[in-house]
Structure 1
């Protein structure tokens, strides 16, 4: 599967539970929508993923990737210490100049 560099870096950061490297994949003004909450900016995104890593220890296995201009969707199997693990999630990205501008996680 041919993934953009920033998505490969995001997956590697997630699978290594590296919240700093994960947040560095996003622009300073990026927005993340996950579990009914919005996280704005790199600092909030780092706090969100650090909390998620500590609670769920989720790792991602990419299954499918589609791209349309700056928008793309990664379908991944996510497994960790949460009820229902593993689950299939879709990660909806807007990527501009090699950085993630927005991410919406859906199930």
Structure 2
């Protein structure tokens, strides 16, 4: 599967639990929506993924990726220490200048 570099780097960072590398995949003013919460800016994104990594130890296995211009949707099997693991989630990305500018995670 041919993933944009920012998304491939994000999956690699997630699977190695590297919250700093994960956050660096995002634009400085990026926005992430997940589990009913919104995280604004690279600092909040790093804090959010660090907390999630400690809590859930989630890893991603990409299943499918579709792209439409600067937007894309990654379907990935996510497994970890959370109830219902594993689960397939959809990651809705907006990418600009090689950085993720927005991400919405849905079930």
1:32 maps to 2:32? yes
- Listed as ranges, the gaps of 5+ residues in structure 1 are none
Q: How far apart in 2 are the matches of 1:92 and 1:26?
A: 13
The two structures have a TM-score, normalised by structure 1, of 1.00
Q: Which deviations, in whole Å up to 9, do the C-alpha atoms of 1:40-86 show, x marking residues without a partner?
A: 00000000000000000000000000000001000000000000000
For the pair 1:5 / 2:11, whether they are aligned, the reply is no
Equivalent residue pairs, number: 107
1:106 deviates by 0.1
Distance 2:97 2:67 in 1: 15
> C-alpha distance in 2, partners of 1:10/1:98?
12
Q: Which residue of 2 aligns with 1:93?
A: 93
User: How far apart in 2 are the matches of 1:41 and 1:6?
Assistant: 16
Indicate the RMSD between aligned Cα atoms, in angstroms.
0.2
Alpha-carbon distance in structure 2 between the residues aligned to 1:6 and 1:106: 19
1:20 and 2:47 are equivalent in the alignment: no
Q: What residue ranges of structure 2 are gaps of 5+ in the alignment?
A: none
